[in-house]
Amino acid sequence: MQRRDFITLISGGVIAWPLGLHAQQFGKLPTIGFMGAGTPSGWRQWTAAFLQRLHELGWNEGRNVAIEYRWAEGRSERDAENAAEFVRLNVDVIVTVGGSTAKQATSDIPIVFALAGDPIGQGLVASLARPGGNITGMSLQAIDLAGKRLEILRELVPNLRQLAVLAFVGNTGNELELNEIQAAAKTLTLEVVMLEIRRADDLAPSTAEFRRAVNVTA
């Protein structure tokens, strides 16, 4: 079986990856393992855009490519389970969001992450120009911009003294961004109230705590 270019799209950018489509040796279609952080309904517009771009590039689900979807439904522990399942299924490529969990699961299956706040800081890639290993994707540069956003907020609200931050802490990239926010807040003499979210169930109580923090600030 000859190797061929397997092309996929992530968040508007085209990424080419040469894959040995070993699944075809057994009469199967090349398979994408799609890891979604939320639910199918919540991700409908993203999966639709993903399928549309694949179609434009000549890949049609059920005809010349198969897609296995797995959803974490806001539970970070499900990501590890889904990644491990894709390794067992021996999919040809894993498409995910941040990429950390998938990378921990396999060093052989190619991984494409849709976005990452700091791929280098998270240890996902060696450099942006030459990712290396079995993983590539797109950087949001969120870590670099976190402190700048806080500076802009301070300019807009000069009397700001206390800041409440809703933080999803089950992700390495988010934790790096939070560290940057705290460092910038210290420089700007701001007090940061960190409201941690680890799963979807934490959102309601954290939101209530957020409102209490805002009332204290007011």
Are the beta carbons of 213 and 157 closer than 8 angstroms?
no
101, 83 in Cβ contact below 8 A? yes
Q: How confident is the model at residue 194 (pLDDT cuts 50, 70, 90)?
A: confident
pTM: 0.60
Give all strands (DSSP E) within 11-140, no chain letters: 13-19, 31-36, 66-71, 93-96, 111-116, 135-139
* Domain edge (last residue) among 88, 123, 139: 139
Same domain? 83 vs 125:
yes
Residue 212, SS3 per DSSP = helix
Same domain, 17 and 112: yes
Q: What is the pLDDT of residue 18?
A: 39
DSSP 3-state assignment of 108?
A: coil
> How many structural domains are present in the chain?
2
**Looking at residue 120, what is its pLDDT?**
74
Kindly report the CATH number assigned to the domain that includes residue 125: 3.40.50.2300
Q: Does one domain contain both 94 and 35? A: yes
Same domain for 161 and 90: no
Q: For residue 108, give its domain range.
A: 4-139
109 and 47 within one domain: yes
Task: Please give the pLDDT value at position 52.
Answer: 96
* Number of continuous H segments (helices) and E segments (strands) in the chain: 6, 9
Q: Are residues 83 and 98 in the same domain?
A: yes
C-alpha span between 160 and 171 (Å, rounded): 28
Contact 105, 80 (CB under 8 A): yes
Q: What DSSP string runs through 152-198?
A: HHHHHSTT--EEEEEEE-SSHHHHHHHHHHHHHHHHTT-EEEEEEES
107 and 148 in one domain? no
pLDDT in tens, 155-180: 898 888 888 787 776 666 677 777 77
pLDDT at 20: 43
Higher pLDDT, 10 or 114: 114
12 and 83 housed in the same domain = yes
Residue 173, sorted as left (phi over 0), alpha (psi -120 to 50) or beta, turns out to be: alpha
Distance CA 62, CA 82 (A): 21
Query: How far is it, in rounded angstroms, from Cα 109 to Cα 163?
Result: 42
- Both 125 and 213 in one domain: the answer is no
Please tell me whether residues 90 and 180 are part of one structural domain.
no
pLDDT at 127: 79
How is residue 93 written in tokens?
């490529």
Q: Which of 139, 159, 188 is the C-terminal boundary of a domain?
A: 139
Mean pLDDT for all residues in the chain: 78
Residue 78 and residue 152 in one domain: no
